[in-house]
């Protein structure tokens, strides 16, 4: 199956034009969803379709530039059968990485993991067990530019499409965040910006919080403030110790990150300013 993603200024006839073009090129629509943002006037559409043969796909894709010009739309066609080439970045916490490796191994997430990058050597054994290249790229204030140059080379050389910050405890430079905008997903606990720094769960315990959770979002110049993709919260009470909160937090982070990755793999996420449209 393939997916067509498009967005343009809303106007009559967009859905009809897309459906007619697919039908006339012997492509069968499997799923279709669309959204008109009433505030910006922008129209978003995602169509999953199956070409009856390869020539059907080629002729349809060949016809899209004319349709796009007429409707002034941005578009792309992706093959959903192709695993997404993904680089995972980690530090010392292993819960998100272990979860992603399990989901990739069991084909719950269609990922082709191009490598695991870490500023610490602690999780190398997990990469070795999965036969995935591990790259130890330590970083200090003085070596940050050199480290990110090595990271860029790796991304380009491996054809990486998606970068996951799976509890990577370093702030990416503005340049890297901007150059790969919409391709870097970060995960963090729900206490930001309230409880920053070390031991956020201990801070939460002392304040008697009643809800904890996690947010997956695109990385931006402000690391923890990019467009949100997925969130989840869990209720806690006075019986939850900091350790128990942290255990629940790990499970929540792993689940929320996996959801965000699945949405990305299925090409459901559209960036729209500082927010996302998910179809």
Query: Where a domain ends, among 17, 52, 79?
Result: 79
CATH code of the domain containing 11: 3.30.70.260
Pair 210, 231: CB distance under 8 Å: no
Q: For the residues 1-14, what does the mean pLDDT come to?
A: 95
**Confidence (pTM):** 0.94
**Structure confidence by residue, pLDDT tens digits, 157-198:** 999 999 999 999 998 999 999 999 999 999 988 765 577 767
Judgement on whether residues 53 and 186 belong to the same structural domain of the protein: no
Mutual orientation of helices 200-207 and 242-265 as an angle, nearest 10°? Answer: 120
My answer on whether 196 and 173 are in the same domain is: yes
Q: Which residues contact 46 (CB under 8 A, 6 or more apart)?
A: 3, 4, 5, 31, 32, 33, 34, 267, 268, 279
Same domain, 41 and 135: no
Q: Which of 194, 231, 197 is nearest to 214 (CA)?
A: 231
**Average pLDDT of the residues in 126-136:** 97
**Rounded to the nearest 5°, which phi and psi values hold at 160?**
-65, 130
Domain match, 100 and 211 both: yes
Residue span of the structural domain in which 238 resides? 84-278
pLDDT tens, 248-274?
999 999 999 999 999 999 999 999 999
253 shares a domain with 182: yes
Please identify, among 51, 79, 107, the residue that sits at the C-terminal boundary of a domain. 79
**192 and 61 in a common domain:** no
Helices (H), 173-241: 174-179, 200-207
Q: What are phi and psi of 265, to 5 degrees?
A: -60, -35
Active site residues: 224
pLDDT of residue 193: 55
Domain identity same for 149 and 127: yes
Range picked from 45-49, 51-55, 69-73 for highest mean pLDDT = 45-49
Whether 46 and 89 map to the same domain: the answer is no
Residue 244: CATH number of its domain: 3.40.50.170
Co-location of 105 and 243 in the same domain: yes
């Amino acid at each position: 199956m393939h997916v067509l993603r498009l967005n343009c200024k809303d106007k009559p006839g967009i859905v009809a034009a897309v459906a007619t073009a697919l039908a006339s090129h012997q492509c069968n629509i499997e799923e279709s969803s669309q959204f008109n943002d009433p505030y910006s006037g922008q129209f978003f559409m995602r169509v999953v379709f199956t070409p009856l043969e390869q020539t059907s796909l080629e002729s349809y894709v060949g016809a899209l530039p004319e349709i796009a010009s007429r409707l002034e739309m941005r578009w792309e066609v992706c093959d959903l059968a192709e695993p997404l080439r993904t680089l995972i970045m980690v530090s010392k916490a292993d819960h998100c990485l272990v979860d992603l490796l399990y989901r990739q191994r069991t084909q719950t997430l269609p990922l082709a993991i191009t490598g695991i990058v870490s500023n610490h050597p602690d999780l190398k054994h997990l990469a070795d067990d999965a036969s995935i290249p591990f790259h130890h790229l330590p970083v200090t204030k003085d070596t940050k530019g050199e480290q990110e140059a090595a990271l860029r080379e790796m991304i380009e050389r491996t054809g990486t499409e998606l970068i996951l910050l799976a509890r990577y405890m370093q702030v990416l430079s503005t340049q890297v965040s901007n150059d790969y905008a919409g391709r870097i997903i970060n995960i963090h606990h729900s206490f930001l910006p309230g409880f920053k720094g070390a031991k956020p769960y201990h801070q939460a315990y002392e304040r008697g919080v009643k809800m904890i959770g996690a947010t997956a979002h695109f990385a931006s110049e402000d690391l923890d403030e990019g467009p949100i993709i997925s969130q989840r919260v869990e209720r806690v009470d006075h019986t939850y110790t900091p350790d128990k909160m942290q255990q629940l937090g790990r499970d929540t982070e792993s689940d929320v990150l996996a959801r965000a990755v699945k949405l990305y793999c299925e090409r459901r996420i559209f960036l729209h300013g500082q927010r996302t449209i998910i179809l």
